[in-house]
Structure 1
Amino acid sequence: MTMLDENDVALAAEYVLGLLNTASSATVEARIATDPLFAAEVEAWRLRFQPMLGGDVSPPAHLWKSIETALPQATGQDVSVSKLLFWRSLTGISVSAAAILGILFLQKPDNVPVPAPQAPLIAALGSETGAASLTASYDANTGRMIITPVSLDTGNLYPELWIIPADGTARSLGIVGGKSATAIIVPANLRQYVSSGGTLAVTPEPEGGAPGGKATGPVIASGKIATL
């Protein structure tokens, strides 16, 4: 399995930030459809940037002048122009987000707290034999979970995803794709169970899911949920 390098990570972030031209974006979208690891990286960046991408406020005109003055002088090492543009854009968005949050805070009455965005949750699901592996990312603000299979084969059965919280009772989150990424919206009554420390698991089940919401197949992959 090919691992992602720093250029792949930067490319995924640039795509989410909208810094690529039309041709490059099309190339990235084609790769997302065929490369589960890269698709998961794109989704992870999307979750990281989500609190900041709701709008844009131009930073003060003097900001970049101050930053450039504070930076050390360039050394003999070459720095990629594209990477400089990427990090400059990232910093600009961070400043914009801070300005937006500041405005919202000032507009809120003193007795109404400003809710803080919840950190994305992730999980790596696998088996002792390595025969099955998946990644999961969850946005608690929207209830959206992305399941990306890396290696998953359930034969004539269907992979069903379960959340197992501290009480040990497995609750079905539905059937997921075995070959490509699946986006699901976790039902409102189950979102309380999707939290750091809980367990995600996959079992092979008949078409339509486990009868009566009770797993019939063995756990072929599982993993703990953690904060990103």
Structure 2
Amino acid sequence: MSDLPPVDPPHGEETPDMAAAELALGLLEGEERAAAIRRVLAEPGFARSVERWRDHLAQLFDLWPAVEAPDLFDRIERSLDRAPDAPVAVLTPTPRPPSKLWPALAGVSSLVAAVLLVVLIARPVPVPPAPQPRQSAPVVTAPAPTLVASIDPTEAGSAPATAVFDAQAGAIRVTQAKLVAADRSAELWVIPADGTPHSLGVLRERGSTALTLSPENRARIAAGAVLAVTVEPIGGSPTGLPTGPVVAKGALAPV
């Protein structure tokens, strides 16, 4: 009998759970062992009972007496030195007490297996990074050339005007030029290759004029297209087509 203190059953139980003792001793195998380990993970009371059993059994290491190996070599030498007619001594090994080491080692291995199982279950599974979309090489487009036109008056004595088209801004700027009388408006037109004039807007009476073009008129501004200025009523042509004479014109060319 062991003089160790008995293992108290968990609170609320009249008798100890023998499955906890069997798991601590390493006596369970197969499905019974797996079921006991699941209970360790799911039932805190059962896990504490297993731990108490293991603490209780671990104290047996302090109670194991040291056992010396039998002196077989001396007995063998004595048998070799005996007289020829002396009876042969039968070497009977000293019986060894049953070892308690293996059950203890089994209990320790059970504890290690339970800890590893808890670590594997509790450890979060790393999420593989999402594949990055393949980025295509950026398409590099050459900037559109700047177009310039010298709008020369049809009558001598008037100063020419200069028109500059900014493709990125989609606007055309015309320098100051006195091309019509004060009671009229100077309207700027673009005449593409098809020969049909399209209004770009009315020029200011004083100072330079910046006109923001519609997408359709931007497409019509190209090298070789003609810019023309006509005399129109105040505010521009009421018909959408030139109504007065052309007083200045010039072709667009890249700089």
Bigger radius of gyration among the two: 2
Higher helix share: 1
TM-score by length of 2: 0.45
Q: Which has the higher contact order (CA 8 A, sep 6+)?
A: 1
